[in-house]
């Protein structure tokens, strides 16, 4: 392109923005919620205790892969890892990188934290705080383009969490349904909603096709995922809440603070 209209002067308005609404409220709320979740999930992951009470396994520890797990997911566990100062590495730390990467590179969460933490932009038509800006063109942010790999991993987690939810019917005295069972199923449904409404999922399952009439299955898939995708932000927040609350519920039951109500 030639330089026309690029070098000419813009309106001489000094103010960073002219908005009068409470544009700062949403990014502030996002900072509050995301920070709270990160603090709680990190604390819970480091606890290495109270993550299992039969038949419920916390989603922060699923799949539980370490030999020392209170509830082994795959039968035979991996040997314990120890690191200096910290000691034995919690089984949660072996697996939480998967869902964490999925959320970190998620198109919706990128919008949320670029606005709230990066302040680029903090709100629409409000001036960026930093002077320079290179977007996602350089390391490390260029790696955001690998979101689909994180989605592949997230799908595997949905399989494990569904298996845990099925096991949540298997009480020591046989089949049953407790409040925890419902909590775990709600969590899986919301997480599946979040995972399968993902933009990368939408593209991989059909969005890459140009001639839908020649790929009816992929068109149907794309169509269904597109409807889900419209609610991707809703699933993102609800599933974030559900995964934390499911852990909290199981933790409190395990600690004996509350009692799991048996419904059946």
Farthest-apart Cα atoms in the chain, separation? 78
Smallest distance from the beta carbon of 224 to other proteins, in angstroms? 14
Residues 216-245 that bind other proteins (CB under 8 A): 219, 229-230
Closer Cβ to other proteins, 124 or 264, answer by number = 124
How far apart, in whole angstroms, are the C-alpha atoms of residue 205 and residue 185?
25
* Residue range at the interface with other proteins (CB under 8 A); choices 47-55, 115-123, 155-163, 256-264: 115-123
Q: Which of 110, 153, 166, 177 binds other proteins (CB under 8 A)?
A: 110
Q: Where in 130-159 is the site for other proteins (CB under 8 A)? A: 132-137, 141-142, 145-148
Q: Is residue 212 involved in binding other proteins (CB under 8 A)?
A: yes
Phi, psi of 84 (to 5 degrees): -55, 150
Q: Which of 209, 82, 102 is nearest to 150 (CA)?
A: 102
**Helix or strand or coil: residue 117?**
helix
For residue 68, with 0-12 CB atoms within 10 Å meaning exposed, 13-18 middle and 19 or more buried, which class applies?
Answer: middle
- In angstroms, the CA 216 to CA 221 distance is 9
Contact mark string toward other proteins, 3..22, x via CB under 8 A? xxxx-xxxxxx---xxxxx-
Rounded to a whole number of angstroms, the minimum distance from the CB of residue 87 to other proteins is: 38
Residues forming a β-bridge with 88: 82
CB of 12 to other proteins, least distance (A): 5
* Pick 109 or 160: Cβ nearer other proteins: 109
177 CB burial (10 A radius; 0-12, 13-18, 19+): middle
> What count of residues does the chain have?
264
Contact footprint for other proteins (CB under 8 A): 1-6, 8-13, 17-21, 107, 110-111, 114-115, 118, 120-121, 124-128, 132-137, 141-142, 145-148, 199-200, 203-204, 207-208, 210-213, 219, 229-230
């Amino acid at each position: 392109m030639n330089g026309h209209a690029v070098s000419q002067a813009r309106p001489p308005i000094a103010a960073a923005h002219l908005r009068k609404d409470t544009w700062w409220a949403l990014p502030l709320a996002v900072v509050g919620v995301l920070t709270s979740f990160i603090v709680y999930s990190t604390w819970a992951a480091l606890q290495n205790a109270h993550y299992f009470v039969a038949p419920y396994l916390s989603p922060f520890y699923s799949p539980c892969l370490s030999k020392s797990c209170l509830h082994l997911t795959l039968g035979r566990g991996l040997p314990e890892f120890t690191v200096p100062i910290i000691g034995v590495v919690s089984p949660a730390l072996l697996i939480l990188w998967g869902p964490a990467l999925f959320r970190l590179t998620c198109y919706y969460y990128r919008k949320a934290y670029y606005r709230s933490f990066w302040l680029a932009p903090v709100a629409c038509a409000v001036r960026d705080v930093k002077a320079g800006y290179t977007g996602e063109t350089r390391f490390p942010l260029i790696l955001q383009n690998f979101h689909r790999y994180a989605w592949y991993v997230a799908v595997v987690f949905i399989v494990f969490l569904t298996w845990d939810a099925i096991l949540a019917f298997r009480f020591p005295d046989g089949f049953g349904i407790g409040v925890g069972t419902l909590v775990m199923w709600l969590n899986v449904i919301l997480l599946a909603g979040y995972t399968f409404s993902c933009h990368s999922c939408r593209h991989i399952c059909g969005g890459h096709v140009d001639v839908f009439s020649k790929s009816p299955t992929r068109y149907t898939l794309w169509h269904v995922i597109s409807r889900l995708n419209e609610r991707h932000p809703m699933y993102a927040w609800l599933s974030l809440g559900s995964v934390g609350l499911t852990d909290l519920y199981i933790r409190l039951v395990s600690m004996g603070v509350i009692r799991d109500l048996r419904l059946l």
